[in-house]
Amino acid sequence: MPTFIFNANASELAVFEKHQASPESIKNLMFDLSHKNDILDEDGKAIPKAEAEKTLLGFSRDFVGFPEMPAKISPRDMKRSFKEGRMQRFFELIEEVVDDDLDVGYRESEWFNDLVDYRNNAAGDAIEFWNEDDNLILDIAVVGKSHHDYILQRPGVNTPYTLPYVRYGAAVGIDLNRYFAGQESFDKLIYALVKSIMVKNQGIIFGALSDAVSKLPVTNGFIGSGALVKTQFDTIIENVEALYGSAVVIGTKTALRSITGIALVNWADAKSKEDVMSMGRLGSYEGTLLVEVPQRFKDKTLTTKVMDDKKLYILPSSDYKLINFVTRGETEIDEILDKGEAVGRIDDIGKYEIQYEQGIGVKANKQFGVWTLP
């Protein structure tokens, strides 16, 4: 867990003392609840999650200046808390929890680790990448309001290089009343914040990968389209394996399901059949690992999904990563105060924006395979 420093003022210290807590102990409780860890008292006895949630909620309500439970929170209470800066200070308490959840989420994601060389500056990772290829071309992803821009760079051979940090903002609507009224658990509050960044970065990464397809040095034997044809699909996998030693196929569940139709299922073992029954798809295709990217909707309209269900990417599965990703590892949460369609807030539900700095680059001239389904 990273070192936490929260310089509480006199009134905030009084709240900590009232609850017989410290900034460190509250932060530890937040981390444990967010990660669903076992919570122990000073004697090593387990504390029920409901009791720990109640303890944190009582502190949180006091910290932002709300009446004690079970009193309701009025719009005036909420407005006063923001006006006096108490809610923003609460955000500062939970920002590090968001940072930690993001870092863990990246490091434990199977598809992310197969595709991305990930660095977190705040965690002490080296932010320099090393170029051992005199033909390396980087496509730097920069996201605007409604489009993706890509800036080409050509790092020198045998030299370290860094990605430029770009500041991003992910809007997230959270009805804070639900948490402070005890209707939403703390881990769900944090999950809503983390998910907004995860979903946006998922789109950025695969948007960069999709853009790199148009820059592949060789297309014959690496690109296919239409209904899957076994011989052609097998050739793409074999070609990627010839370059990197091994390969992995990455796609959404919908895309991966299409592979079942060309697999030699008559010869499938019991494990493969169990995979289809339990996951709705094969876990591997004739020795090649299939990795699922979770599908998400872009927003609450539920009309557009983040991932393309028509793409199957055949990528290296060894230590070679096609995507470079570096984050400063320090998120900031700000409230959107203005109302109106221009800022996306037309009601009294809290609307917030998580701001963070990161750099994403794809090795645009590296060979990989892609199949576009009909």
Task: Return the pLDDT at 242.
Answer: 95
> In angstroms, what CA-CA distances link 140 with 136, 154, 168, 204, 348?
13, 11, 14, 11, 38
Report the C-alpha gap between 371 and 248 in whole angstroms. Answer: 13
Report the C-alpha gap between 140 and 163 in whole angstroms. Answer: 8
Report the C-alpha gap between 254 and 281 in whole angstroms. Answer: 9
Task: Return the pLDDT at 17.
Answer: 96
Report the C-alpha gap between 347 and 175 in whole angstroms. Answer: 11
pTM value surpassing 0.95: no
Phi/psi of residue 313, each to 5°?
-100, 130
Amino acid at 296: R
Task: Return the pLDDT at 250.
Answer: 94
Task: Return the pLDDT at 346.
Answer: 36
Q: Do 335 and 207 contact (CB within 8 A), yes or no?
A: no
Tens-binned pLDDT, residue by residue, of the chain (374 aa): 455 678 899 999 999 999 999 999 999 999 999 999 999 888 889 999 999 999 999 999 999 999 887 778 888 888 888 889 998 899 999 999 999 999 999 999 889 998 999 999 999 999 999 888 878 888 888 765 445 567 778 888 888 999 999 888 877 766 778 888 888 899 998 988 898 888 888 888 888 888 889 889 999 999 999 999 999 999 999 999 999 999 999 999 999 999 988 876 555 556 655 555 555 456 788 889 998 988 888 777 778 888 899 999 999 987 789 999 999 999 998 876 655 444 443 344 456 788 999 999 998 888 999 999 99
Widest CA span of the chain, in angstroms? 72
User: Which three-class secondary structure state does DSSP give residue 136?
Assistant: coil
**HSE-up of residue 90 (Cα within 13 Å, Cβ side):** 25
Report the C-alpha gap between 53 and 23 in whole angstroms. Answer: 16
Count of other CB atoms within 10 angstroms of residue 49: 17
